[in-house]
A and B are shown apart, each in its own frame.
Chain A
Amino acid sequence: MDPGEPLLSVVNIVKRFGGVTAVNRVSFDVRAGEVFCLVGPNGAGKTTTLRIIAGLIEPDEGYVVFEGRRQPWGPDVRRLIAYIPEDAGVYRNLTGFEYLEIMARLYLGERWEDAVRRAAEISGLGVRLRDKIGGYSRGMKRRLLLAGALMINPRLLVLDEPTAGLDVTHATAMRRMILDYVRGSGAAAVVSSHNMLEVSYMCDRVSLINRGVIVESGHPRELLERYRVENLEEVFVRVTGGGL
């Protein structure tokens, strides 16, 4: 594949729920090795967009292309995508190890053992992996989910507010893991966030979304310069006119 060619293209997607237009003509491309961030206030349409990308929701208009293939995708394409929903749950009665093993076997077949070993390491959960997931703290659950997602060597990571509810240390570690993976593997990541600090730290490109519409896009630094402001929050306030 041409390196300039996008790995993922979201083209003019529209999604309405009853009278609410959750996503309104949203388009963007994500290239290999790139972290793309979708930033916006509550109810802006981030989750809906990511669900459409993951293929769990069908857009009313527009389409999504991944590695040259349009939705709907079969198991062969889903194998390449790791999606962690914003309020992703866990099987409470499985142990961390059991969860990783099940996922590895389903995604990787024969080559699962190495992957589980790698994931165990990434998760940093150590012996706690032998405990039932039901007893994990929120941060431990997120780390397990992320380790499980990276373990399958996805070409596309779709992460809905991956660091929400985590403390600074955990959040930083998690961002590090995502970045390392994307840079190392040449995969693409679509990440949603409220957190502007997070965005400037890990995003190669960012789109600001408000009321379902993308109102501004660019590299974080580029945006700061364009609006002559100190941080992205101010960009956002400027773009939306302060009213969310």
Chain B
Amino acid sequence: MRRLYVLAVKEVKELIRDRYVLFSVILAPLLVLPLLLGVSYLAVREAGGALEKAIRELPGNVAVVLEDPGDEMALEVARRLGARVEASVEEAIARYPAVVVLHSNFTKNILEGKPATVTITSRVERPYSLVEVAVVTFLAQGLRDVVSIVLMERFNVDPRLIRTPVIVESKVLYKGELLEGSRLAQLYILNMGLAFIIFILGVIALQVGTLSMGIERESRTLELLLMLPISRVELIAGKVLGVSTISLMGFASFLVGLSITILLAPVLFAEGFEGIQQPQTTMQWSPIGLIEAFRTTSVTSVVAVVASIAVAMISTTIVGILVGVLLAGDIRGALVSGSYVALILAIPLMVEMMGLSLPTPLQIAFITSPMYPPFKTAQMIVFGETGLATAYAIATLINVTMLLAITVLMVKSERLIYGIRLRKPRVET
């Protein structure tokens, strides 16, 4: 019993006094979830607030254009939507955030069991945020509901008897250009896909970066490395190059795994889940959608996407090396601290993958994350926001330079090479 106690005390003391254990076992688990929760909460709150406001303001803010101004049901739908009737889309869209066009033969089609067609044209300012896209979805749903009500109250028809009363096409006015809704969906998929790629690759790169320093530490080759007749920047560049090769191999193997999953999933779940409906949305994320989005996007955007992936990988690797120097005493320590730091730094990308944007103060805070500014740069280029793209590109540049400088300084630091602890000066006897 006594011996057990002594052993346990030894274990606790040895572990808890280790800087690496302290981070990976105590500090990181403490931070990760609250941080993720906090950031998600702020992002969702902002998105929710914006959505609510948009929906609240919607009724008086929608214009309806009737292709057949005498159509009875169309007129009723417009009235119940609380919308103003305008003559043409071109004029109306300048003054209203959304214009609904009810096409001709509206009543006739519905009563004959054929779907009536509706086009919603909406103005969006930030199409990379799910909020504005959600407004369009909301409007489409509202329209369907109103049509059902009108059918019931005015025409005494049970709307459930009609399979698809209305088909809604959506168009988007973005930066003075009228885009098909499907085009927006593609850009959107590209956006989320990019966040996903950078997230996965970033996590891999950070882990491999930390790992490579953990290996140097554990095999005591750090001094050999530092004595080499090359500059510190070259040393780190060489490491980044080697580590990136491994990271890309890791990413490739992830992609293979993903492909297997995608090919296998429909086979395994061929029956579907009973009682669970597939969400019907064009916004669905799929690798095929991603490839399609890539195919239909401008060369500039594709270059931006590829460059942002490369930059994110490089700067994340540098962070990995830095984390390795600071927090990895050996290989296992490197793996654990690398994973946690990767998770923390990837939080803004997780938020973007949910289709949300960070509130501005958080965006500024996460400018220091190695993955976020390159992602935002590419995102802004894809969505044609030149000004913001430039701002994020500058942030990326500053970020990488700073990271490199800090890492060079840290690598040189004798305290980090030899793990010197600065204790209070003791009186020598």
Contact = CB atoms under 8 A, between A and B. Distances in A.
B217 to A, nearest CB: 9
A74 B232 CA distance: 10
B220 A85 contact: yes
A56 B418 CA distance: 10
Interface string A18-56: 111100000000000000000000000000000100111
B243 to A, nearest CB: 15
Nearest to B217: A89
**Size bin of chain A's contact surface:** 20 to 34
Contacts of B422: 18
Interface in B215-237: 219-221, 223-224, 226-231
Contact of B221 (A20, A75, A78, A89): A89
A89 B224 contact: yes
A85 B423 contact: no
Contacts of A83: 223, 227
B84 to A, nearest CB: 73
Contacts of B421: 18
A91 B221 CA distance: 7
Interface in B57-87: none
B424 interface: yes
Contacts of A89: 219-221, 224
19 contacts: A18-B422, A18-B424, A18-B425, A19-B424, A19-B426, A19-B427, A51-B418, A57-B414, A57-B418, A74-B231, A75-B230, A78-B228, A82-B227, A83-B227, A87-B220, A88-B223, A89-B219, A89-B221, A106-B228
Interface residues of B, number: 23
Contacts of B4: none
A58 B418 CA distance: 12
A236 interface: no
Nearest to A57: B414
Nearest to A55: B227
A77 B420 CA distance: 26
Interface of B: 219-221, 223-224, 226-231, 414, 417-418, 420-428
B220 A75 contact: no
B415 to A, nearest CB: 10
A79 B228 CA distance: 7
Given A19-B426, A88-B223, A107 B418 contact: no
Contact of B229 (A21, A51, A79): A79
> What 4 A-B pairs come out closest when comparing CB atoms?
A89-B220, A19-B426, A79-B229, A19-B425
Contacts of A91: 219, 221
Given A56-B223, A78-B228, 16 more contacts: A18-B423, A18-B425, A19-B423, A19-B425, A51-B418, A55-B227, A56-B414, A82-B227, A83-B227, A85-B223, A87-B220, A91-B219, A91-B221, A106-B228, A107-B228, A107-B229
Nearest to B228: A106
Contacts of A57: 414, 418
Contacts of A58: 414
B227 A88 contact: no
A19 B429 CA distance: 11
A88 B228 contact: no
A5 B69 CA distance: 105
A75 B233 CA distance: 11
Contact of A81 (B227, B420, B424, B427): B227
Contacts of A19: 423-428
Interface string A89-123: 11110000000000000110000000000000000
B426 A56 contact: no
B220 A88 contact: yes
Interface string A58-93: 100000000000000011101101110101111110
B231 A20 contact: no
A31 B420 CA distance: 32
Contact of B420 (A17, A74, A107): A17
Nearest to A148: B224
